[in-house]
């Protein structure tokens, strides 16, 4: 059984892969204070609820865009599962050619997305990841990452309005029925949802002008299904693309080890 862990700025997503399917997927808040106690307890409890023994896990692979958490999380995982953890980094990316200035700067979650898209779709594409940041990763069918674009994510934009203004409240992530807000909550929702619809389309079309109109748009991330008006714009919406990429990376590393022996 494979355990994959994706540490993001807002959430830590964990998945158990067994017999060619996701047996369990859990999403926890990213929490740095006393993280060893918190995540160890959460993992033990989740495994108990799922009726899974810790010893059933044979491999653990982790991606992280929160470097301050890495060392302590690795120690906790190694203690829980009694094995070394694969920490995804530039030196172990399989079959992905990074056409960028500094490979160490790109988020490992974005590379995992690219690995999954390469395996699952096998075509030129633009991966739109709706997370804490809204990212656009351009990938060729040969497995080259041509570049990345980054803007604040939907929740990040709403939080910025709430924290940086005196009178604007924090609002729920709900699609408004109209672009014409009749109150403050609706006004913010209208600006975010309709505004980001235009942003996503404009970014994808701008990228296509540079690389080719045939590049398909693929959506992923926790908020990938939030903007209903964009659903038909994407070739596919794959909320678990990052986790799939991590399992492909783990399998590639395992295959390489077998080839060496």
Instruction: With CA atoms as reference, report the closest residue to 87 among 26, 5, 15.
Output: 5
Q: Is the distance from CB of 124 to CB of 215 less than 8 angstroms?
A: yes
Q: Is the distance from CB of 26 to CB of 14 less than 8 angstroms?
A: yes
- Give the CA angle between residues 154, 161, 232 to the nearest 5°: 20
Residues designated as active site: 109
Strand ordering across the sheet containing 86-87: 21-29, 11-18, 2-7, 59-64, 86-87
The bridge status of strand 133-139 relative to strand 2-7 is: unpaired
Using CA atoms, how far apart are residues 9 and 108, in angstroms rounded to an integer?
12
**Count of residues in the chain:** 261
Using CA atoms, how far apart are residues 154 and 18, in angstroms rounded to an integer?
33
Using CA atoms, how far apart are residues 237 and 215, in angstroms rounded to an integer?
15
């Amino acid at each position: 059984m494979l355990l994959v862990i994706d540490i993001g700025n807002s959430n830590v997503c964990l998945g158990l892969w067994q017999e060619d399917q996701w047996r369990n997927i859990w999403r926890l808040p990213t929490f740095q204070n006393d993280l060893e106690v918190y995540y160890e307890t959460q993992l033990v409890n989740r495994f108990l609820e799922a009726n899974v023994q810790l010893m059933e896990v044979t491999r653990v692979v982790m991606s992280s865009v929160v470097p301050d958490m890495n060392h302590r999380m690795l120690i906790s995982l190694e203690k829980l599962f009694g094995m070394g953890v694969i920490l995804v980094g530039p030196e172990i990316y399989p079959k992905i050619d990074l056409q960028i200035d500094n490979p160490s700067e790109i988020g490992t979650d974005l590379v995992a997305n690219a690995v999954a898209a390469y395996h699952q779709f096998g075509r030129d594409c633009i991966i739109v990841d709706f997370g804490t940041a809204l990212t656009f990763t351009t990938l060729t069918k040969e497995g080259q990452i041509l570049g990345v674009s980054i803007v604040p994510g939907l929740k990040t934009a709403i939080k910025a309005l709430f924290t940086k203004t005196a009178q604007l409240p924090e609002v729920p992530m709900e699609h408004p029925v109209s672009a014409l807000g009749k109150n403050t909550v609706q006004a913010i929702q209208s600006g975010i949802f309709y505004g980001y619809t235009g942003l996503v389309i404009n970014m994808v079309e701008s990228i296509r002008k540079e690389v080719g109109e045939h590049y398909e748009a693929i959506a992923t991330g926790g908020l990938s299904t939030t903007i209903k008006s964009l659903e038909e714009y994407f070739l596919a919406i794959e909320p678990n693309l990052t986790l799939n990429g991590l399992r492909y990376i783990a399998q590639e590393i395992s295959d390489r080890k077998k080839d060496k022996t």
